[in-house]
């Protein structure tokens, strides 16, 4: 497949961005800062206003946003939303031009990515799955890890764009591979948060100064990006998202399902998936995933 045709900006492709949420807004703004022309569409008017204020262009629909794009980036919650914006008469595949590159950065099932790549190929549209890790802070600071599935040539072409969004950028294999690695990422993060939450409750009930304990734990083998990034959430019981429990519930479903398919046992992951589901069932789905602390507190007798 040929490389991208020239856009209005000779050095950089014209970008369309669909999904300007917690992640999509700061990521698209980083592209604008790097000199890309970004036309965006999302469901909330205030997010479109934010894009315009940052120097982007707001579109009135998916079709309008993608029509003149060389590269289309999607960053929406889950597989159903990716399918809703990709397929159908108003979707990306019907309205983007042949030769465009579609990069889906949402965290979705690997099979959805594989199916999307196959459907897009019929329209002459190339696809990469490129989910990310690093959270809202990583998006704002442009230090995300980006795990990519698809063709090497498309990855190479997208690399400069990825470099405006993240620091660790790896082609993991064919279509769907980025999503499989992201599923493993979410397993590791959830188990890590759960372990930190259990340690917090244990430390507090033992009467140890929590801040001092988390400081010294962070410097040893127990230290982790999760502990560093979520320490203040634990200390202040600040569960403003961040990464919503609802989305982590979706991701634990993806990883446990994918693991069953390949015959991998995830005993600890399965328990943590249940704890995430329980938190959600208790009405905490809109909180940051560090709110797993609330689940441990409840199990330990607190009324939170």
By C-alpha distance, which of 64, 62, 52, 60 is closest to 28? 52
Cis amide prior to 242 (ω within 30 degrees): yes
Count of residues that bind ligand NAD according to CB under 6 A: 29
85 binds ligand NAD (CB under 6 A): yes
Out of 92, 100, 103, 132, point to the residue binding ligand NAD (CB under 6 A): 132
- In the stretch 187-226, what mask flags binding to ligand NAD with x, by CB under 6 A? ----------------------------------------
CB closer to ligand NAD, 107 vs 194: 107
Round to whole Å and give the CA distance between 291 and 196: 11
Which of 121, 123, 167, 182 does the annotation list as catalytic? 182
By C-alpha distance, which of 44, 61, 33, 275 is closest to 141? 33
Minimum Å gap between C-beta 157 and ligand NAD is 22
Handedness of CA 47, 93, 113, 38 (dihedral sign): negative
Mark whether 182 is an active-site residue: yes
Torsions phi, psi for 252 (to 5 deg): -70, -30
Out of 24, 40, 149, 285, point to the residue binding ligand NAD (CB under 6 A): 24
Number of Cβ atoms within 10 Å of the Cβ of 235? 12
Alpha helices, DSSP H only, in 168-301?
177-205, 210-218, 225-236, 245-262, 267-279, 292-299
77 binds ligand NAD (CB under 6 A): yes
Q: Which residue is nearest to ligand NAD (CB)?
A: 21
**DSSP 8-state assignment for residue 244:** B
19 binds ligand NAD (CB under 6 A): yes
Out of 3, 5, 35, 43, point to the residue binding ligand NAD (CB under 6 A): 43
CA–chain centroid gap for 123, Å, is 26
Minimum Å gap between C-beta 105 and ligand NAD is 7
Out of 14, 22, 201, 276, point to the residue binding ligand NAD (CB under 6 A): 22
Minimum Å gap between C-beta 42 and ligand NAD is 4
By C-alpha distance, which of 68, 156, 83 is closest to 120? 83
What residue ranges in the chain does DSSP mark as E strands? 15-18, 38-41, 57-58, 71-74, 101-104, 126-129, 132-133, 144-149, 166-173
Minimum Å gap between C-beta 274 and ligand NAD is 19
Binding site for ligand NAD (CB under 6 A): 18-24, 41-44, 47, 62, 75-78, 81, 84-85, 106-107, 132-133, 135-136, 242-243, 247
């Amino acid at each position: 497949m040929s490389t991208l045709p020239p856009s209005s900006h000779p050095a950089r492709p014209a970008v369309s961005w669909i999904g300007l949420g917690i992640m999509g807004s700061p990521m698209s703004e980083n592209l604008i800062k790097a000199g890309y022309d970004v036309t965006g569409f999302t469901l909330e008017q205030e997010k479109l206003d934010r894009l315009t204020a940052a120097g982007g262009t707001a579109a009135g629909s998916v079709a309008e946003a993608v029509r003149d794009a060389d590269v289309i980036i999607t960053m929406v919650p889950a597989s159903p939303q990716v399918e809703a914006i990709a397929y159908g008469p108003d979707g990306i595949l019907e309205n983007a031009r042949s030769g465009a590159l579609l990069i889906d950065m949402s965290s979705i099932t690997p099979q959805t990515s594989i199916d999307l790549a196959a459907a897009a190929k019929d329209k002459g549209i190339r696809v990469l799955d490129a989910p990310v890790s690093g959270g809202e802070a990583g998006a704002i600071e442009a230090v995300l890890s980006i795990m990519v599935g698809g063709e090497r040539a498309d990855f190479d072409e997208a690399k400069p764009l990825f470099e405006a969004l993240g620091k660790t950028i790896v082609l993991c294999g064919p279509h769907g591979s980025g999503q499989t690695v992201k599923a493993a990422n979410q397993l590791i993060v959830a188990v890590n948060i759960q372990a930190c939450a259990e340690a917090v409750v244990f430390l507090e009930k033992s009467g140890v100064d929590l801040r001092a304990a988390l400081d010294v734990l962070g410097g040893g083998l127990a230290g982790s990006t999760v502990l560093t990034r979520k320490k203040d959430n634990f200390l202040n019981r600040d569960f403003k998202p961040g990464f919503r429990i609802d989305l982590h519930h979706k991701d634990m479903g993806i990883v446990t399902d994918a693991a069953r398919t390949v015959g991998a046992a995830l005993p600890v992951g399965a328990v943590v998936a249940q704890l995430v589901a329980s938190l959600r069932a208790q009405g905490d789905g809109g909180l940051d995933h560090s709110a797993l602390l609330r689940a441990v507190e409840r199990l330990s007798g607190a009324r939170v």
